[in-house]
Chains A and B, each alone.
Chain A
Amino acid sequence: MIVINAKNISKTYNPDKVPVHALNHVNLEIKKGEFTAIVGPSGSGKSTLLNIIGGLDVPTEGTIELGGEDISKFSDNELIDFRLKHIGFVFQAYNLIPVLTAEENVEFIMLLQKQSEKDRKARTVELLTKVGLKDQMNRRPSELSGGQQQRVAVARALASKPEFILADEPTANLDSHSTATLLDMMANMNEKEGATFVFSTHDQRVIDKARRVITLEDGKIVSDEVR
């Protein structure tokens, strides 16, 4: 079942001055539960594509459907709501809320979703246990290592039980051990939670782990390999 359907997506920055074509008529279909890596050199359009898929950016041309809904027509508020309900993000720089503890960071998403306190607490403990940080629940991001912070970020991304997890260079700031741990954990969660994972990455270790690798160059898909 196709859950991400990008049709003829183009993105041009500075169209009136010096136009930069970040994406050029990209067509992409991703099925439910896929573990996909988008790779390519810097400036190839990986992050732009991921941002458009996640509703963080809008395409200059084309449409993007997530779970059958054309999000390119959504208003700003509708997009925020859609992201809250359906998408989990993992960023390169972890991007946890610095004033909240690991536990509160994970719980925060569920609070925005207005889940009951009981459900929130249970899900938080479950996820932090899964990412191996149950003992670090009360620590703030500044008291955690980069790898630990990224694991909290993954737990946060999964907290709302999203259908899509979008990760922009999630291992870029991690050492090899943390990268391996994080990848195993995400692969495991992909199998158990059934969420569709899409990464943008340069990291060969991530590429090796992916079951589908889409390569972008100059804003175009140049290869699409399913393993």
Chain B
Amino acid sequence: MLLLIAWRNIWRNKRRTLITLASIGFAVFFACIMQSMQLGSYERMIENAVRFYTGHIQVHEKGYWDDKTLDNSLEVTESLQTKLSGEADLSAYVPRIESFALASHGTLTKGVLVNGIDPIKETGLTDLQGKIVEGQYLSTPGDIMIGEGLSTYLKAAPGDTLVLISQGYHGANAAGKYRIVGTLKFPTQEMSAQAAYIMLSDAQYFFNMPNRATSLALLLDNSEAVPGVKADLTSKLDTAVYEVMDWKELMPELVQSIEIDYASGRIMLYVLYAIIAFGIFGTFLMMTNERQYEFGVMLSIGMKRRLMQGMLLLEIIMLAVLGVVMGIIAASPILAYFYLNPIHVGGEMAQAYEKMGMEPILPFSLAPEVFVNQAQVVLVMTILMAIYPLWIVGKLKVIKALRS
């Protein structure tokens, strides 16, 4: 019956209840939209970063990440490949050799980052083929692709020959000449001026490290699978030999920038919540003050204070839950629409996005936390707002209430 009384009580003043519900609903609606955009852009940012280079997870020889030398490379054994292929959520794994070399063309010389890659697997992860601006994609041993900036600096174009000199595995001399087949466009100047790509087999030969790689980048079906796959691989692989790192460890600066942005977004949300909270608090105060006489009667006929507080709390929770549900119901179709049809940005912003190698869209997220977070915050906030009215009821003097 307590539930029944509480339910009927909230509808005693329909207009006030509807206004309260509307304010809670609006807060939730707005918060859902904001958070959906935020999470959507983070998801896209992570996906872009993962697909730009790192992959979701990387496997290295233990110690490679702290000391990126060829001597810390790993052997790509059958056993290792079998273990990787056994992962259900694995979409592809991409072996790489990364090291530095001196590149020269004619009288010009520059330090470059040499990437030994499997061209098909690499483009499956990073869409490297899509970055070709001149010439063609890597397909034959002896070929090399270089960044646009490097091409300009060395005054080398497709068809020219580039000489690489470096130090190989365990201090071996490394020297080779490669025919430039294509130039690549990168969003950052640093990469454009440094990146050079050769076949993995060429890199293994060049650096004198047959069947070895400095890293294996793993692309998963979705980023939610990262913790599971990482845990599984950590248990399957000998951690004294290998290190398994996820994108968060590989790109701590990205995690940090997301956290900072998320925190600033939360502050905005909390400001919104605080405004709404005062409105709700006012309603609760009215609800409590105008019913003091009624509470006095309830106490006089033998209703315990705790029960009465429970009834009031139920009313407050019902209001909050209804408001949250209304807000989520209002936001869901809009979020679903924008999830399927992201907003396309235009003008300079679009160019900035494209420069960063990102699609110029404002993506939305339908992740459960978009809704769950708002529901939690509003419920907690509402219950906090209820403390004062509940305290008033707890301290109510029967006789004073009956005289009110």
Contact = CB atoms under 8 A, between A and B. Distances in A.
Interface residues of A, number: 28
A81 B302 contact: yes
Interface string B1-35: 10011001100100000000000000000000000
A85 B299 CA distance: 13
A99 B5 contact: yes
Interface string B251-295: 000000000000000000000000000000000000000000110
A100 B8 CA distance: 8
Given A99-B9, A100-B5, A80 B305 contact: yes
B8 A99 contact: yes
B313 interface: no
Interface stretch (A30-38, A103-111, A143-151, A212-220): A103-111
Nearest to A111: B1
Contacts of B298: 97
A56 B399 contact: yes
A112 B302 contact: yes
Interface band, chain B:
20 to 34
B374 to A, nearest CB: 30
B63 to A, nearest CB: 68
B250 interface: no
Contact of A99 (B12, B297, B399): B12
A7 to B, nearest CB: 21
Contacts of B304: 77, 80-81, 112
A91 B9 CA distance: 21
B301 A109 contact: yes
A51 B299 CA distance: 13
B5 to A, nearest CB: 6
Interface string B391-403: 0000000110010
Interface string B298-310: 1111111101000
Contact of B5 (A57, A77, A97): A97
Contacts of A80: 299, 302-305
B300 A89 contact: yes
Given A51-B399, A56-B402, A112-B307, A98 B301 contact: no
Interface string B302-341: 1111010000000000000000000000000000000000
14 contacts: A54-B300, A56-B300, A77-B304, A80-B305, A85-B302, A89-B300, A89-B301, A91-B402, A99-B9, A99-B12, A100-B4, A108-B301, A109-B301, A156-B301
Lowest 3 CB-CB distances: which A-B pairs, in order?
Answer: A84-B302, A99-B8, A95-B297
Interface of B: 1, 4-5, 8-9, 12, 293-294, 297-305, 307, 398-399, 402
